[in-house]
Amino acid sequence: MAPADGYSAPPTPLTFQILLALADGNRHGYGIIKEIEGRSAGSAPSTGALYLALQRMEGDGLIEDAPTPDTSESADSRRRYYGITRNGREVAERESARLADLVLAARNKNLLAGTGP
């Protein structure tokens, strides 16, 4: 069974958020939280929820351990970095396309104010 098959269903919003946060580079746990917070008007998942998701996503092969970047910011060796896998990127792309389709449909039905055709 190919790993991606497990994700034929859309990922949960939190899974997608994490994939999105990792799409442009590796981050550590706190970095992921900050990124999500910035995108969702300050609301972010609890640390527990984040690690539950991270653990599952690692198990499902969506993300992986990434090398710690050699910058001064990451002086703390305990911080682990996460990176997106090829699988993860595929899932994220598929979900993005699905969401884009939905947004398009919403726009066609005048649900997005001021952006109708």
Partner 1 sequence: MRRLYQWILSLAPEDFRERYRHEFMDVHAQRARDRRPGLRGVGFDIREIIGAVGLVLRLHVGGLRVHGKGSREGRTSMMETLVQDVRFAVRSLRRNPGFAATAVLVLALGIGANTAIFSAANAFFFRPLPFAEADRLVSLFESNPEFGWTHENSAPANVFDWEEQVEAFEDVGTYASFTEEITWISDEGDPTIFSLTSVSGDLFDVLGVRPHLGRIFHPDETWAPDDGVVVLSHALWTREFGADPGVIGRTLSFGEETVEIVGVMPRGFTFPTDRTELWKPWGWQKAYLDQVWFRRAHWVFPVARLTPDVTPEEANAQLQVVVQRLSAEYPETNRVMGAGLMPVRDFLTMDVRTPLLLLGGAVGILLLLACVNVANLVLIRGAGRTSEVALRHALGAGRGRVLRLMLTESFVLAGTGGLLGLAGGWAGVRMIQRFSPLGITGLTELTLDARVVLFVVGVSVLSGTLFGVLPALRSSSGGVRARLQARGQSGAGGGRLVNVLVGAEVALALLLVVGAGLLVRSFWILRDVHPGFTTEGTMAVKFEVPEARYENRDQVLAFYDRLIEALEARPGISKAGLVAQLPLNGFNWSSQFQAEGWPPDRVGFEIQHRPADEGYFEVMGIPLRSGRMFGPADRADATRVVLINETLAETYFPGEDPVGQRIAYDRAANENPDDNSWWEIVGVVADQYQESLAEAPKPEVFENGNQNWGRERFVVVRTDGEPLAALPAVRSALMELDPLIPISEVKEMRQVWSDSLSRERFLLMLLSVFGVVALMLSAVGVYGVTAQAARTRTREIGIRMALGAEAGAVVRLMVRQSLSVVGVGLTIGVVGALLGSRALTRFLYGIEPRDPGTITAVVALLGVVAAIASYLPARRATAVDPVSSLRSE
Would you tell me which residues interact with partner 1 (CB under 8 A)? 3, 6-7, 9, 28-30, 33, 45-52, 54-56, 59-61, 76, 78-80
The dihedral over CA atoms of 86, 90, 96, 100, expressed in degrees to the nearest 10, equals: 140
Whole-angstrom distance, CA of residue 79 vs CA of residue 64: 14
Using the minimum distance from each CB to partner 1, give the nearer residue, 84 or 91: 91
For 83, residues 6+ apart whose C-beta sits below 8 A from its C-beta are 22, 26, 63, 64, 65, 66
Per the CB < 8 A criterion, the answer to whether 88 and 11 are in contact is no
Using the minimum distance from each CB to partner 1, give the nearer residue, 48 or 67: 48
To partner 1, the closest distance from the beta carbon of 60 in angstroms equals 7
To partner 1, the closest distance from the beta carbon of 96 in angstroms equals 19
To partner 1, the closest distance from the beta carbon of 1 in angstroms equals 8
